[in-house]
Amino acid sequence: MLAYIAFIAVIASNEGTCQPIQAPATPAPPVDPSRIQELKFSLTLMDQAAKSDHRYLVMNEAGWLELGTKENHNLVFLPYHPGKRTEEVLNGKPIISGPFSGCWATSTTKAHSTTVYHIGTRENLDEFKEKNRQLKVDFNKMIEADSLTDSVRGVNPWLQISPERRFEIVLNRDRAQLWAFVDVDGRTHAFEMWRHGEENYKARLVTPLEFKVSGGPIPENGQTDEEKREETRQMEAWVKSREERRGTPQKEQEKQRTTLIECITIGWNCFRPGRK
């Protein structure tokens, strides 16, 4: 459910060869959702940016992300930190954030200023369930204390893409990620990043997201009971259709459905050691 001291970024080329690239000194052209399909980044670069909380990025004319500065950036980076809430003011430049595998992307508005948050829940495993719930409780307490409750908009990008797409990402968890793009007007899109070569990632399948929360607290346990039932119904129907197409014997279909539904519900982290 990622300001750095160095201004020289290492970005991998399409062939996987690393070379130093410096972001341009002049302001970069604006980025709108129509360009996200062109986006490419080096995993090394994004790891560096996440670890150092480097906020300013440049998406160049070829679509590659580079480290930028306050003066020349055209994207703002909101990293994912497991177990923490990160935030960034939407200030005339789009925000990208990721990866998402169950985290909530939310925003609040006060005095015409919008703040975007990545609520960094961890794997949906027993050891993290209470910590994940508490992270959302703390967020809801914050927005209530600051009188922001009525302005909240929120969405879980992972649950907004189709079961088919979730399953593809789960099966390719070592080379696929789900990210979010928030435009200057606060509209949010999900986009998949797929690995090409040793460490390069390229975007595909940009999906507009429908906000599931519009005013009010976010669900502390992920979804309402009604949403969970509908989600399960849709996934069971899809998995049943898939297994029938594959010719899976009837007695094996129930086992397959249980395993696949669990994985496409909780994200790529379901395939941990001992969880086949």
3-state class percentages of the chain: helix first, strand second, coil last, to nearest 5:
35, 30, 35
Q: What is the mean pLDDT of residues 189-209?
A: 93
Distance separating alpha carbons of residues 221 and 213, to the nearest angstrom: 14
Grade residue 193 by pLDDT with cuts at 50, 70 and 90: very high
H-only helix segments in 247-273:
250-266
Distance separating alpha carbons of residues 153 and 151, to the nearest angstrom: 7
Indicate the DSSP class of residue 241.
H
Q: Are 176 and 193 in contact (CB under 8 A)?
A: yes
Range of lowest pLDDT (147-161, 199-213, 228-242)? 228-242
Q: Give yes or no for residue 21 having a pLDDT over 70.
A: no
* Count of Cβ atoms closer than 10 Å to residue 253 Cβ: 16
Q: pLDDT tens across 95-138, in order?
A: 999 999 888 999 999 998 999 999 998 866 567 778 888 999 99
Distance separating alpha carbons of residues 9 and 18, to the nearest angstrom: 10
More confident residue, 271 or 253: 253
- Mean per-residue pLDDT of the chain: 81
Q: pLDDT tens across 26-64, in order?
A: 888 889 899 999 999 999 999 999 988 899 999 999 999
* Listed residue (235, 1, 233, 268) closest to 136, CA to CA: 1
Q: Give yes or no for residue 6 having a pLDDT over 70.
A: no
Q: What pTM does this model have?
A: 0.79
Indicate the DSSP class of residue 94.
-
Grade residue 72 by pLDDT with cuts at 50, 70 and 90: very high
Range of lowest pLDDT (58-72, 126-140, 235-249)? 235-249
Range of lowest pLDDT (98-107, 147-156, 220-229, 259-268)? 259-268
